Structure 1
């Protein structure tokens, strides 16, 4: 197995699932601190936005070949994620208790996207060079991957995993916060 495949396996089988687990732990902490009656819907929506900001580039990297366009999307999404993450913590601080467990979950949720981006850049180093040299010709479109990373079973399995431990819980959080917001608004 070559070095590139080892790095891809670290992304697929360690960092991607760990990001989902950290998101689930974070959701458990929000639930324990009754986010719906403390920081409320605004913070809950920020959490969903951050999930989308990292989820879209992950999906693109699993479905399409990494080229300059995909790399620009990944970098831009990471920068936006960092901005919203800082805004989220600043907003929540003082409105609800942020436990040591939640702080640990946040450390993973903040660093894993950077580590994943760094590995994607290392694996696709010629694309990084093209990005920096502005050699973007022929690299600004979506090119489906010939062979899926992890085999044909990985993407459906990973997406199912993420729906169960992240999408459904955060959807539940949004609904719980929306109900509380509607209740307090009337």
Structure 2
């Protein structure tokens, strides 16, 4: 197996699932600290935003050839994710307890996207050079991959895995926080 295939497999079968597991652990911590009563809907929506900021680049890299456009989206999304992550902790820390487990989950949720981005840059080094040299001719459109990374069965499996571990739990968190906020508004 060549180095590029090894890195792609590490992304697909190690880093992407770990990111989902860390997200689920983080959600469990939010539930344990009753986020709906403490920091509420605003923080919960930040979590969903951060999930989108990492999830969209992941989907782009799984479905499309990595070119300058995809790299630009990945880089901007990563920077925005970092800003929102800092905003999230700054907002939440005075409003609720952030447990040791949650701090560990945050470590993974912050570092895994950086490592995944670094691996994508390494795997696609010629595209990185084109990005830096502003050689963007024909590189600003989405080009579907002929065959998806991981084979035909990987994407449905991974999307199902992420739906169970992250999408549905964070939707539940948003709804729980929204219900509590509406209940507070009608009782006052």
Tell me the TM-score range normalised by the shorter chain.
over 0.9
CA–CA distance in structure 1, aligned partners of residues 55 and 81 of structure 2: 11
Offset of residue 94 of structure 1: 1.3
CA–CA distance in structure 1, aligned partners of residues 43 and 174 of structure 2: 9
Q: Equivalent residue for 1:162?
A: 162
CA–CA distance in structure 2, aligned partners of residues 117 and 127 of structure 1: 13
Query: How many pairs does the alignment contain?
Result: 186
Q: Secondary structure at the match of 1:118?
A: helix
Offset of residue 147 of structure 1: 1.7
Residues 64-103 of structure 1: matches in 2 within 5 Å? Answer: 64-103=64-103
Alpha-carbon deviations, 1:82-134, whole Å to 9, x = none? Answer: 00000000000110000000000000000000000000000000000000000
CA–CA distance in structure 1, aligned partners of residues 100 and 81 of structure 2: 22
Gaps of 5+ in 1: none
Q: Equivalent residue for 2:176?
A: 176
Q: Equivalent residue for 1:14?
A: 14
Q: Equivalent residue for 1:118?
A: 118
TM-score (norm 1): 0.99
Offset of residue 43 of structure 1: 0.1
Q: Equivalent residue for 1:5?
A: 5
Gaps of 5+ in 2: none
Q: Secondary structure at the match of 1:107?
A: helix
Alpha-carbon deviations, 1:131-159, whole Å to 9, x = none? Answer: 00000001000000112111000000000
Q: Equivalent residue for 1:151?
A: 151
Q: Equivalent residue for 2:40?
A: 40
CA–CA distance in structure 2, aligned partners of residues 48 and 85 of structure 1: 11
CA–CA distance in structure 1, aligned partners of residues 97 and 117 of structure 2: 31
Q: Secondary structure at the match of 1:143?
A: coil
CA–CA distance in structure 1, aligned partners of residues 102 and 176 of structure 2: 19
CA–CA distance in structure 2, aligned partners of residues 53 and 111 of structure 1: 14
Q: Secondary structure at the match of 1:44?
A: helix
Offset of residue 18 of structure 1: 0.2
